[in-house]
């Protein structure tokens, strides 16, 4: 198996970035991802079900996330939920996107005279 270069996925689509970032903290089900994004962005970003589940499908196909077999205790779970987690490639892609965004912000600040080198 050849190692995939994370750079080939950049720049990430914003909804892909939001899903990957949500999964960086651990496994989540779809509704949990939607709520985490909504809360983290203080309501500025809302992933509607069609957008979220379409993104999840494509992220699985790209091998950036995978469905998890692990489940919470039955009293805290709903059997209909599917849980997702980052793959090692997904974690590398998220890191590469974060680096790209940090460099972009640094460049903007330099252009605006906010940072001197």
| pLDDT tens, residue by residue, 18-58 | 999 999 999 999 999 999 999 999 999 999 999 999 999 99
| pLDDT tens, residue by residue, 74-110 | 566 666 778 999 999 999 999 999 999 999 999 999 9
Given a cut of 70, is residue 16 above it in pLDDT?
yes
Q: For the stretch 25-36, what's the b/e string if a residue is b when 16 or more beta carbons lie within 10 angstroms of its beta carbon? A: eebbbbebbbeb
pLDDT at res. 53? 96
pTM: 0.86
CB 61 within 8 A of CB 72: no
Give, in words, the CATH class of 12-111.
mainly alpha
Count other C-beta atoms under 10 Å from residue 16's C-beta. 22
pLDDT at res. 83? 93
**Domain residue spans in the chain?**
12-111
């Amino acid at each position: 198996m050849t190692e995939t270069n994370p750079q080939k996925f950049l720049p990430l689509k914003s909804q892909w970035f939001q899903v990957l970032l949500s999964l960086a903290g651990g496994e989540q089900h779809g509704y949990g991802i939607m709520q985490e994004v909504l809360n983290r962005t203080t309501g500025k970003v809302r992933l509607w079900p069609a957008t979220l589940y379409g993104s999840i499908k494509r992220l699985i196909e790209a091998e950036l996330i995978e469905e998890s077999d692990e489940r919470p205790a039955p009293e805290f779970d709903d059997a209909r939920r599917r849980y997702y987690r980052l793959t090692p490639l997904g974690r590398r892609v998220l890191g590469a996107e974060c680096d790209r965004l940090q460099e972009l912000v640094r460049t903007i600040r330099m252009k605006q005279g906010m940072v001197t080198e």
